[in-house]
Amino acid sequence: MNTREELMDLLDQVKRQLINNQEIGLDAPILSANSLNYLRKGLQLDKEALKENFYCNNLEELENFISTCDQCKLSKERKNIVFGEGPPDARLVFVGEAPGVDEDLAGKPFVGQAGKLLTDIIKAMGLTRDEVYICNIVKCHPPHNRDPEQDEIKMCLPFLEAQISLIKPEIICAIGRISAQSLVHKDFKITRDRGQWQSFKGIPLMPTYHPAYLLRYPQAKRSVWEDMQEIMKKLGLKDPRGLSD
């Protein structure tokens, strides 16, 4: 039995016990309206309601859980789900927007041109890609590289939340507008608000420009480097080039 099944089993037993107690005339415990509803429905577990929730013990289980996901229209055209990669206990998690064409084919995040630039940024921080976790707000490639739509983000966000609660990173770096708007707030303006610490589920979050933006506007690289230095400071990393104090 996995943890989820154990919990279901436990719930079922508690429910039986409560019904027995009621039948022999013991006072019913004080329960929330939701719990009372659940009890009144009888012993059948509500499978549909449970489908909305999921519990995974580790990233592998989570990846497996979403491997057949067809909750949104992106599932129709994707070649691969791009779950994310990196150590399960990474101190730093980069969250991009959505897989592009290259990522869709490879099943891995940030492997195209923007990905190469992200790899260089990570190296400049004195880290390697193997030391950080990289993933996206949505796990499937939006056709024609369009922005992911609100319903797609809404469906996919619980998976990212589960991913982050399993990794428990010290810092999240939101890459680009869509990522920051999804993780911070919908009115987030990347040109105005990047570089300022935010938080996601209590974890410090640094929003910065997307490397695809840097490919078009290389003059913005200086700002990204300032944002990365903020992250490095918080992680206690020294600038490998000796350019910061």
Shortest Å, Cβ 142 to ligand URA: 10
Residues making contact with ligand URA (CB under 6 A): 96-100, 103, 109-110, 112, 114-115, 136
With contact defined as beta carbons under 8 Å apart, do 23 and 127 qualify?
no
12 versus 130: smaller Cβ distance to ligand URA: 130
Shortest Å, Cβ 112 to ligand URA: 6
Shortest Å, Cβ 103 to ligand URA: 4
With contact defined as beta carbons under 8 Å apart, do 82 and 124 qualify?
no
Contacts of 243 by beta carbon, 8 Å cutoff, 6+ apart: none
Shortest Å, Cβ 179 to ligand URA: 7
Task: Report CA-CA distances (Å) from 120 to 69, 113, 127, 158, 184.
Answer: 32, 11, 10, 30, 26
Shortest Å, Cβ 211 to ligand URA: 8
114 versus 124: smaller Cβ distance to ligand URA: 114
28 versus 215: smaller Cβ distance to ligand URA: 215
Which residue lies nearest ligand URA, judged by its C-beta?
Answer: 96
Shortest Å, Cβ 51 to ligand URA: 28
- Separation CA 49–CA 51 (nearest Å): 5
Task: Report CA-CA distances (Å) from 49 to 37, 54, 121, 181, 243.
Answer: 13, 10, 43, 29, 54
35 versus 107: smaller Cβ distance to ligand URA: 107
62 versus 95: smaller Cβ distance to ligand URA: 95
- Separation CA 14–CA 20 (nearest Å): 10
Tally Cβ neighbours within 10 Å of residue 171.
20
45 versus 106: smaller Cβ distance to ligand URA: 106
